[in-house]
Chains A and B, each alone.
Chain A
Amino acid sequence: MPRSFLIGTVLTALFVGMAAISLIWTPHDIESLDIPNKLKPPSGANWLGTDQFGRDILSMIMEGARTSIAVALLAVGIGMALGVPLGLWAAARKGSLLDELIMRGNDLIFAFPSLVIAILITAIFGASAVNAIIAIGIFNIPVFARLSRSGALSLWERDFILAARVSGKSAFRISWEHILPNILNLMIVQGTIQFSLGILAEAALSYIGLGAQPPTASWGRMLADAQTLVAIAPHTALVPGLAIVFMVLGLNLMGDGLRDWLDPRLRVERA
């Protein structure tokens, strides 16, 4: 197992673990403010210091990890759930009008800068975590649709698919039983990358105030709140910033490692 994959997995597991623990326990309650104790540097009582309301930053990071992971996971889920079937469908009907419609529709979504559309969606439907999930999710659809279509197209030329067709299986069953399992590793690798992009997108939306609303903790909003405090309490900005960096780094390393591991061709080369 490559070392980068190991590092990535450890980092990811760390944040996922923190998020999981925060479901039942955090060092401090982040919903009660302790204003006399605000902007304290890291100490024994508050390992990562306190923010502008005297809340424990470690607890905020733990709960923020939950928000980030939940938003990114659901957004990737939307992208996969809609994108993969669309891509498989388009591949099964290669060259038809349907194929054109699906793929040009995906191009259309791709043509817009994702953050701008995300801002549009949250501006129309209101800023909330749910709308952030939908906005980020929509932009995951074309990614998965394209990837699954291109993966499926090469498979459709293969002999075992021909055999399945000769035996009378429908295009739907072939896609489901033969093609999907063969492109699954591709999807998992891409899913990991999209997951890290989802974390970034959630942070960006929260940073401009369009993501999860207070009092829900969010790394992006922690950064935004810390902006004017950098000079007097640098840890308030550094901690959430580094959390985002390490989470995204971890996912990317893990994604790279997964690709090396799951891709049979690369495995042969290594051996």
Chain B
Amino acid sequence: MTAFTRKLIGASAIALLAGAAHAQQTDITVGIQLEPPNLDPTGGAAQAIDSVLYSNVFEGLTRFMADGSVVPGLAASWDISDDGLVYTFTLRDGVTFHDGTTMDAEDVKFSLDRARAEDSTNAQKGLFAGIADVTVIDPLTVQVTLAQPDGSFLFNMAWGDAVIVAPESIETIATNPIGTGAFKFDEWVEGDRIELSAYEGYWGDAPALSAATFRFISDPTAAFAAMMAEDIDVFAGFPAPENLPQFEADPRFQVLVGNTEGETILSTNNMVPPLDDVRVRKAIAHAIDRQAIIDGAMFGLGTPIGTHFAPHNPDYVDLTGNSQYDPDLSRALLAEAGFADGFTTTLKLPPPSYARRGGEIIAAQLREVGIETEISNLEWAQWLEEVFSNKDFGLTIVSHTEPMDIGIYANPDYYFQYDSAEFQAVMEELTATTDPAGRSELLARAQTIISEDYVNGYLFELAYPTVARAGIEGLWLNQPTAAVDLTGVSWTE
């Protein structure tokens, strides 16, 4: 062996070692389907905002863990008065916002008062409705007084809509979010990506990742191609369930199929004739074959539901029996309601495949019993305007992904316009009840009422497929709230 060859081998070995050292990647590119319309989780309803920012950039007093449990967040601990009205939070020491300012009790008071203010644009104002007063005791202690005991107050404070923001940065929060999380916001290239990087002054354990890029890929085919080409490392909420077997068979990838809080429902306009007739809604419910929709639209991913409640929740009651697939019963009910020859209504579908594909299946199933539907495919902005705001629809399909959101049925102005004094009374009682057994019982009653009133067609609980490169650890399996929490994510190879 000549000296030259030896040198060459030595150099190659060094290059190889160097290569191995570099292989430990510390940045990550995450694909998600929808781009957030703005970056203020306390001022927008879009889930995509939380997908990018929850826990990564913004934190609240409490927070959701991957398993859905609520644990201390910016509040290190709390005391609850015996009457359940006064919550005294002790904040963590040394927490700073990404602009370097300190997070203290004043910021908590500012955030909560802003969210519950008269002119607040918070999408979930109901979370804060029970708060009577917020008082700063000292910089690390804040006292929240409730008007009446609220058993779910700590749960409410974990929502993305309840994160702590600073008065110094509130003006530009929609484009330049400044939070307390492990990652700080760097750049938003609209229509393409959002870049985050690790925040050095983070109060908790430093994240394993040094940088993260969220890319927005709405087209399922493009998502598939980008993942296959390894242009992205993780796709959270992969939009094409039919492609999952290919990723599963490929050793370069791992597929996680978790559950969500997404009740996918055939939303029904309860104010528009003939859908205001409970017999007609019951007929629709019995005309629907859920399993066919789960198989046909979601390729088997999804759990049938019979009411607006997540099946993995311990308080879930299986009421699918109320709406078994029975086209004969459905026809009989229609005849009884005076629509023996059926009727025509609209079916407005937002972009996700559960809606577009599910819509075609439901249209075919309804046609079997004589109900004709005029399908129109809408983009999300159109859907939000026509259906959600203007309530100009007969039927629509959408997934309600907020956790524990059965309370929307108590609001008669909500887009499906269900107005039941009985249900509203149960919800009021629930808010005032803190004892777990009593709450379970009330929740069961609430679930039963909406199921037996056939408010909406209850289809299935949306599954949450995540496709990731092999060697990524710490991703959330389930979606207890919309989030792609990267604080615990790392590369193992």
Q: Which residues of A contact B (CB under 8 A)?
A: 31-33, 35-36, 38, 52-54, 126-127, 209, 213-215, 227-229, 231-232
Contact = CB atoms under 8 A, between A and B. Distances in A.
B361 A35 contact: yes
A209 to B, nearest CB: 5
A38 B363 CA distance: 17
Given A53-B364, A232-B243, 10 more contacts: A31-B364, A33-B360, A33-B364, A35-B296, A36-B295, A38-B295, A126-B376, A214-B375, A228-B220, A232-B245
Interface string B358-398: 01110111011000001111000000000000000000000
B440 to A, nearest CB: 36
A213 B85 CA distance: 55
B242 A229 contact: yes
Given A127-B376, A214-B360, A228-B221, A53 B296 contact: yes
Nearest to B224: A228
A32 B295 CA distance: 15
A79 B242 CA distance: 42
A132 to B, nearest CB: 14
A231 B227 CA distance: 14
A214 B363 contact: yes
A219 to B, nearest CB: 16
Q: Which of A32, A214, A231, A232 has the most CB of B within 10 A?
A: A214
Interface string B241-254: 01101100000000
Given A38-B296, A227-B221, A228-B240, A213 B376 contact: yes
21 contacts: A31-B364, A33-B296, A33-B361, A35-B295, A36-B295, A38-B296, A52-B242, A52-B357, A53-B296, A53-B357, A53-B364, A213-B375, A214-B359, A214-B360, A214-B363, A215-B364, A227-B220, A228-B224, A228-B240, A228-B243, A231-B246
Contacts of B66: none
Say whether chain A's binding surface is mostly helix, strand, loop, or mixed.
loop
Given A33-B296, A52-B296, A232-B245, A215 B220 contact: no
A177 to B, nearest CB: 47
Contacts of B296: 33, 35, 38, 52-54
A251 B359 CA distance: 35
Contacts of B272: none
Contacts of B329: none
B292 interface: yes
Nearest to B364: A33
B368 A215 contact: no
B414 to A, nearest CB: 26
Contacts of A33: 292, 296, 360-361, 364-365
A269 B319 CA distance: 81
Contacts of A52: 242, 296, 357
Contacts of A36: 295
Contacts of A35: 292, 295-296, 361
A127 B357 CA distance: 17
A231 B360 contact: no
A229 B242 CA distance: 7
A36 B363 CA distance: 17
Given A228-B220, A231-B243, A32 B364 contact: yes
Nearest to A213: B375
Contact of A232 (B242, B359, B368, B374): B242
